[in-house]
């Protein structure tokens, strides 16, 4: 009966008993995760095509901001990338709303950094269009490149904090438990590979795979239940060497009190015996 009345969230987002549930529901979080899945999968395909097809066949100088695309092609590429970033942002939002990271400070700060990083990344894609014909050393292009770098650093910090918060919360089990860590490691990988334009698309593919795993975990278990707190039993008795055992809590102290008159009478009899023996010795 107690278990029936226990209010717990299920994967459908409804309360097991005790009234309607508040907060995000399973179907709503799953829809957000599905959007993120589509965006992450499309980003992986896009990055692989650029790394395997576009880079080997380009004749654009690596000193140009639009590398490896032409100035005209970068307009379409930037718009497509902005859309993909926005889709991934929706998926990460679903992960945050699902509550797998708990409600601690690391979860809140990590969510803000990760979502903010994706927002800045989307804005940087639009900012790339006006400077598409510049060289990488021009002021406008340098500003946009620094914006991309800032977005990446924000995302890395956010995913690391979310991975820590998720591990502490312990709401996901099995392979899902490692999904936030995979996303964090993938974000660190793209940060390290972003310094070389010839391997940057591969880094984006790795980063997107990490987010694909994160969105898949959110889709499969959108509203994980917090683990039940462990019950604590009675503390074990600690006895020091040579010390008597402690008196049980239920035992009355009347037994010890009742022994006091008996001990007094025994002491008086012992004194009388000693006095009598002394008198007999003196008489003899």
What pLDDT does residue 121 have? Answer: 97
Q: How far apart are CA 77 and CA 82, in angstroms?
A: 9
**With helix as H, strand as E and coil as C, how does 168-195 read?**
HHCCCCHHHHHHHHHHHHHHHHHHHHCC
Sign of CA dihedral 124, 125, 126, 129: positive
Report pLDDT for 226: 82
The domain spans of the chain are: 26-220
> Alpha carbon 173 to chain centroid distance?
12
Query: Across 194-279, where does the E strand assignment appear?
Result: none
**Torsional sign, CA 16, 20, 24, 27:** positive
- Of 52, 27, 61, the C-alpha closest to 204 is 52
Residue 178's nearest CA partner among 123, 129, 126, 216 is: 216
pTM: 0.74
pLDDT at 24: 77
What torsion do the CA atoms of 17, 19, 21, 25 make, to the nearest 10 degrees? 70
Distances (CA, A) of 220 to 94, 175, 177, 226, 266: 12, 11, 12, 16, 80
pLDDT in tens, the chain (284 residues): 344 333 334 444 444 333 334 567 899 999 999 999 999 999 999 999 999 999 999 999 999 999 999 999 999 999 999 999 999 999 999 999 999 999 999 999 999 999 999 999 999 999 999 999 999 999 999 999 999 999 999 999 999 999 999 999 999 999 999 999 999 999 999 999 988 999 999 999 999 999 999 999 999 999 998 887 766 655 555 555 555 555 555 444 444 444 445 455 555 655 555 554 555 455 54
Whole-number Å distance between alpha carbons of 158 and 106: 9
Distance CA 233, CA 173 (A): 26
């Amino acid at each position: 009966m107690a278990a029936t009345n226990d209010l717990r969230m299920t994967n459908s987002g409804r309360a097991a008993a005790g009234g309607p549930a508040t907060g995000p529901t399973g179907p709503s979080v799953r829809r957000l995760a599905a959007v993120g899945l589509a965006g992450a999968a499309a980003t992986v395909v896009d990055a692989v095509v650029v790394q395997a097809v576009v880079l080997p066949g380009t004749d654009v100088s690596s000193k140009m901001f639009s590398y490896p695309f032409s100035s005209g092609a970068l307009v379409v590429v930037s718009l497509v990338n902005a859309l993909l970033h926005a889709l991934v942002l929706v998926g990460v939002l679903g992960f945050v709303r699902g509550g797998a990271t708990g409600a601690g400070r690391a979860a809140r700060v990590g969510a803000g950094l990760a979502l903010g990083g994706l927002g800045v990344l989307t804005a940087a894609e639009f900012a790339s269009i006006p400077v598409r014909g510049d060289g990488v050393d021009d002021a406008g292009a340098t500003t946009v490149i620094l914006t991309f770098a800032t977005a990446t650093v924000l995302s890395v910090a956010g995913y690391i904090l979310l991975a820590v918060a998720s591990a502490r919360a312990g709401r996901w089990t099995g392979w899902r438990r490692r999904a936030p860590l995979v996303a964090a490691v993938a974000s660190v990988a793209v940060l390290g590979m972003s310094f070389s334009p010839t391997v940057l698309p591969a880094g984006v593919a790795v980063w997107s795979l990490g987010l694909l795993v994160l969105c898949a975990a959110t889709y499969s278990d959108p509203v994980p239940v917090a683990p039940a707190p462990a019950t604590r039993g009675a503390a074990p008795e600690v006895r020091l060497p040579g010390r008597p055992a402690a008196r049980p809590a239920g035992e009355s102290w009347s037994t010890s009190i009742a022994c006091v008159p008996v001990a007094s009478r025994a002491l008086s009899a012992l004194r009388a015996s000693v006095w009598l023996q002394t008198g007999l010795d003196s008489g003899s």
